[in-house]
Structure 1
């Protein structure tokens, strides 16, 4: 798991509106015929070169976090390396372009389209007639059918991590000839393009034993530009070799070696010449950038801010330590968020959650992380997509921007007042925080806080599904539906004020009720209610690479302090961060990230679905670790996934995103930076951004050749 949040590191998820909120969401969702998706904030940085300029042969040594435990991407312990291997050795009917949108992969698929909608949806796939498995067998309907049966969820003997989409298929059968596959859906499914990518051979999917165990350590049959040559757990390497059975453009590289190198050891591995390509944390990236500048070569923008200054101070005498490398920078298809646990405590009150959100200057936080890296520093406006992706639209106006006075008014309405009586802690009474945590005190005392990945935050994926531990048994707070109705009625009493709120970009319920005044002198001290101070436990991981996370957490704490909210930072071990704190709900505030998907109706639903009580009395949260959800959001996701009108589906998802913003369970902050060190003569590889890597085009420049100005083949 990456240390920036909850998300897909392995690869990387029809009801009328209730009256009070229907009008507001329709207005605020901004649904129109105009394309609101925009363009990616940063393009990929891969040193593109025409194939004619790339030498034939060579070995690319590529750093990964670990040798994967499984080679089956549909198992729960699959990770980023599992996905990387699958991209290189297995068929994918669709791959993502530079805007993160699915495109037909012509090496496997001549065409795919919905040929029937009534009485049922039917998709007809026409396969590339040259597409064969490495054993010589044609890729065909038997492989599609075996994967559907394995992933449908009907046979519990298959240990699958997810069934989304496959559970809506009714049957898979051969078409008019061996190159056609007909897939009939029992229920309409808008994200049908997400299926069969990757596609495993029937040898893997045909039986539970082959699925559960056979594909964990080896893949005997493949169908990509590379084949799996060896998994060496002793030396922590996976070797992929150029496939002689590949019918497409032949791979330029002879081999790709995926070598497990911890992130804090990668700069040393680069200096030692044992790897050629590696994603880095900002501090290590600063060292590469400084070395490139010292050599007077390369085009990398020097890192600024803490990462750059620290690298400069540490490596001033050895800036030549990484000659021959350059830093390639982009933005990942993932965003870092502030998560607010709404299960119980002060944040169970949505007014307090909104107050936290309204206290944040998201633009300042984005700048603090991305500007020093020379990357576009714009706050993320959607929970479901990023700028450039088809479903993106900035729906943050449903909650409203930074407004200290409004934040104070919301807190006052919730009963939190400055200078209120505070009960003193009894002698021997435990302070807040789970046993075994290292408490760092308030934000002012957290200068040596903690973190994890490149930008110091965690990333959680669809396959990072921790067991559903029993949540704290508390009475569920009043639903947002009920509160929204009450507040909607109240706002309707004053049409001019209601219109003024809409002009500010807020939704009914995102503001304190009319007449609530910001308490005088609210910034002077912490707030209290019923004898208890308003203090939120801010849980952070304590691993290496923590500077960015500390910076973000400290700035957030400072912003909250201005409205009277205190924070208590608790540092916890990386290995327990999700299992014992995020997944089990033992936190008030946390920083982690979610990846975005080209198919948010499918992939994002588990993240925002309304938690429901399980049979054993615990709360089934799926991947909704904030425990904040609404019936309306669930209904909108269901409508969006069931319509075959893509424009209508996008509109429904944007409405859902507006409601997610208004519920204030998670606040997207910034798109994650992607910083990759690469040998200067390595082309068509680096920071890929949204786009699926084209493995057959990667390689080293011919002697004396320069990268071509245009992009590589897509």
Structure 2
């Protein structure tokens, strides 16, 4: 996902939506991630003081703790980014710099054993005025270690490899010593991973339930001013205890709106910025006075995941692989990105994005003839109606997705591909509310579609999604894996040489394809509709926002 993509892959039900219509306009750009950002950059002096930035999400947070399995949602993370500490900032190319608002230094101080030393900014405090200390880091490391299964973690993020966290020269320094090397150590408190106060991570009950109704202590340029679940509204205001540069905005208002209402809300001046979906969204923004279309390929990507849990119809990996070969992912890319990308390409890697260092095509390819032969070979034979069956069971699978027209369009293309080889597919749409909690996490699907969102740390999420540990599913919702893949993942995460880690990660990716775990489809084109007067916000690519610099032009 992180992405140059993934430290902690986050999930989004309906944010990456691309349409199937034609366009007379030139495509907005490439779907290959690079070093670009399109945020209307301006210095602080160009911005007026004050103002309210109005944004939208599709559902209200189920749990504000994004480290917990129910809170592992991209929209929740987007909502709390102005509130929580991170160790590194990233630019549009994914290059890292220490975030000096929170840490004066972060250093790999030893490799044998691996030791990382975090020196906390002495001015950094939580929203109640209490200092951020090494104890917050130690508490989070313990919660995510996996040692106590009562902590319902979304991702271990390398803390399962940590031996101990100790106080350094004072309370403002944490020294992390690892039992095993962890390649993506920079992402443990960066990207989509964030530091929470020890009050949240100190015990399983606090971790799992203390942020069900709100965020609690924060440490960013903004704090939560109010929440209204009934109205679907979250209001952030300037943090009076913030020690960094004063934000230009007074407030940020996040409203829960159905995805189809986002562009009309932009046109009616009810929102200031929104991620766009299909070509109609793009054209509507282009035709709306006072709106800009901002574009930079992003780090969200769409995928198709199989359910291989014991007893499921797709428990046999040979069946999953055969089905995957029957799906024309390039046709899906060309169709959904028509008018949105100059050269639409299917995404052919689970770990790296197109344009990212390390990306290569490790897919098994589109081969419906091979798919048909392989289905025959494992005993799924065509009946008189053309649909295959075995031992009296029809080969009909249920595809579950967020209820959005474009997700359905993609499902229909997959449905048509599979019908050609005798596999039936039923389209099962669900609302966005509690989509992951009630549907995806319990495995209520044969196949499912949703979006992963990542950041600039591509390895930390590999065990989270593609490792299989039956008592710790994390985000491997299809419950697919093998001891061989687990061993390869472990070897990858233990490699501190970046180039060697890339080679191993690509071996992981090939193995994921060979086990029929999931199929990457397309990555985000990164089109945003943004109020023209809004500066330092829009399509960031891999860059992190400086929330103190977002504002409206004078």
Give the distance between the partners of 2:402 and 2:353, measured in 1 at CA. Answer: 28
Q: Which residue of 2 aligns with 1:8?
A: 10
The reply to whether residue 114 of structure 1 matches residue 108 of structure 2 is: yes
Which of 239, 245, 248 aligns to 1:249? It is 245
Structure 2: stretches of 5+ with no match in the other structure? 1-7, 15-30
Shift of 1:379: 1.1
Q: Which residue of 2 aligns with 1:414?
A: 378
> For residues 329-340 of structure 1, what are the structure 2 equivalents within 5 Å?
329-340=295-306
Q: Deviations over 1:611-655 (max 9, x none)?
A: 64x7xxxxx755334343232211111112223333332222211
Q: Deviations over 1:585-623 (max 9, x none)?
A: 5654443333345444432323223464x7xxxxx7553
User: Residues 411 and 60 (structure 1 numbering): CA distance in 2 closer, same or farther, change over 3 Å?
Assistant: same
Q: Is the 8 A contact 1:242 1:254 kept in 2?
A: yes
Between the two proteins, the alignment pairs up a number of residues equal to: 525
Shift of 1:539: 2.0
User: Residues 361 and 178 (structure 1 numbering): CA distance in 2 closer, same or farther, change over 3 Å?
Assistant: same
Give the distance between the partners of 1:372 and 1:180, measured in 2 at CA. Answer: 51
Give the distance between the partners of 1:633 and 1:556, measured in 2 at CA. Answer: 27
Shift of 1:220: 6.2
Q: Which residue of 2 aligns with 1:403?
A: 367
User: Residues 684 and 551 (structure 1 numbering): CA distance in 2 closer, same or farther, change over 3 Å?
Assistant: same
Shift of 1:131: 3.4
Q: Which residue of 1 aligns with 2:82?
A: 88
Give the distance between the partners of 2:298 and 2:229, measured in 1 at CA. Answer: 29
> For residues 267-282 of structure 1, what are the structure 2 equivalents within 5 Å?
267-282=263-278
Give the distance between the partners of 2:183 and 2:211, measured in 1 at CA. Answer: 30
Q: Is the 8 A contact 1:231 1:239 kept in 2?
A: yes
Shift of 1:670: 1.0
User: Residues 291 and 183 (structure 1 numbering): CA distance in 2 closer, same or farther, change over 3 Å?
Assistant: closer
Which of 547, 558, 581 aligns to 2:416? It is 558
Q: Which residue of 2 aligns with 1:514?
A: none
User: Residues 346 and 114 (structure 1 numbering): CA distance in 2 closer, same or farther, change over 3 Å?
Assistant: same
Q: Which residue of 1 aligns with 2:68?
A: 75
User: Residues 529 and 86 (structure 1 numbering): CA distance in 2 closer, same or farther, change over 3 Å?
Assistant: closer
User: Residues 685 and 602 (structure 1 numbering): CA distance in 2 closer, same or farther, change over 3 Å?
Assistant: same
Q: Which residue of 2 aligns with 1:691?
A: 543
Give the distance between the partners of 1:353 and 1:576, measured in 2 at CA. Answer: 27
Q: Which residue of 2 aligns with 1:573?
A: 430
Q: Deviations over 1:147-203 (max 9, x none)?
A: 334444556776655444333333322323454321222333223222234223345
Q: Which residue of 1 aligns with 2:463?
A: 605
Q: Partner of 2:263: helix, strand, or coil? A: helix
Which of 522, 526, 529 aligns to 2:386? It is 526
The reply to whether residue 62 of structure 1 matches residue 55 of structure 2 is: yes
Q: Partner of 2:530: helix, strand, or coil? A: strand
Give the distance between the partners of 1:70 and 1:654, measured in 2 at CA. Answer: 34
Q: Is the 8 A contact 2:49 2:249 kept in 1?
A: yes
The reply to whether residue 165 of structure 1 matches residue 158 of structure 2 is: yes
Give the distance between the partners of 1:587 and 1:206, measured in 2 at CA. Answer: 34
The reply to whether residue 635 of structure 1 matches residue 487 of structure 2 is: yes
Give the distance between the partners of 2:507 and 2:468, measured in 1 at CA. Answer: 16
> For residues 220-239 of structure 1, what are the structure 2 equivalents within 5 Å?
221-239=217-235
Give the number of the structure whose alpha-carbon radius of gyration is greater: 1
Q: Partner of 2:82: helix, strand, or coil? A: helix
Q: Which residue of 2 aligns with 1:373?
A: 340
Q: Deviations over 1:553-603 (max 9, x none)?
A: 2322333344x3242424343368767765555654443333345444432
User: Residues 535 and 52 (structure 1 numbering): CA distance in 2 closer, same or farther, change over 3 Å?
Assistant: same
Q: Partner of 1:77: helix, strand, or coil? A: helix
Q: Is the 8 A contact 1:93 1:105 kept in 2?
A: yes
Shift of 1:142: 3.1
Q: Which residue of 2 aligns with 1:536?
A: 396
Shift of 1:101: 5.5
Give the distance between the partners of 1:206 and 1:578, measured in 2 at CA. Answer: 25
Shift of 1:95: 3.4
Q: Deviations over 1:101-128 (max 9, x none)?
A: 654223222322222233x321112333
User: Residues 205 and 700 (structure 1 numbering): CA distance in 2 closer, same or farther, change over 3 Å?
Assistant: same
Structure with greater proportional helix content = 1
TM-score using structure 2 length: 0.82
User: Residues 55 and 11 (structure 1 numbering): CA distance in 2 closer, same or farther, change over 3 Å?
Assistant: farther
Which of 482, 497, 513 aligns to 1:645? It is 497
Q: Is the 8 A contact 2:285 2:529 kept in 1?
A: no
Q: Is the 8 A contact 1:172 1:181 kept in 2?
A: yes
Q: Is the 8 A contact 1:54 1:699 kept in 2?
A: yes
Structure 1: stretches of 5+ with no match in the other structure? 1-5, 13-37, 294-321, 423-524, 615-619, 703-714
**CA RMSD after TM alignment:** 3.6
Shift of 1:98: 1.9
Give the distance between the partners of 2:320 and 2:216, measured in 1 at CA. Answer: 52
Q: Is the 8 A contact 1:333 1:690 kept in 2?
A: yes
User: Residues 561 and 71 (structure 1 numbering): CA distance in 2 closer, same or farther, change over 3 Å?
Assistant: closer
Which of 178, 181, 203 aligns to 1:188? It is 181
The reply to whether residue 678 of structure 1 matches residue 530 of structure 2 is: yes
Q: Partner of 2:117: helix, strand, or coil? A: strand
TM-score using structure 1 length: 0.65
User: Residues 160 and 657 (structure 1 numbering): CA distance in 2 closer, same or farther, change over 3 Å?
Assistant: closer
Q: Is the 8 A contact 2:263 2:284 kept in 1?
A: no
Q: Is the 8 A contact 2:11 2:451 kept in 1?
A: no
Which of 346, 353, 356 aligns to 2:320? It is 353
Shift of 1:366: 0.6
Shift of 1:681: 0.8
Shift of 1:91: 1.5
Q: Is the 8 A contact 1:42 1:375 kept in 2?
A: no
Which of 142, 151, 175 aligns to 2:168? It is 175
User: Residues 206 and 138 (structure 1 numbering): CA distance in 2 closer, same or farther, change over 3 Å?
Assistant: same
Which of 593, 601, 608 aligns to 2:451? It is 593
Shift of 1:134: 4.5
Q: Deviations over 1:299-344 (max 9, x none)?
A: xxxxxxxxxxxxxxxxxxxxxxx53223334444232223344456
Q: Is the 8 A contact 1:101 1:390 kept in 2?
A: no
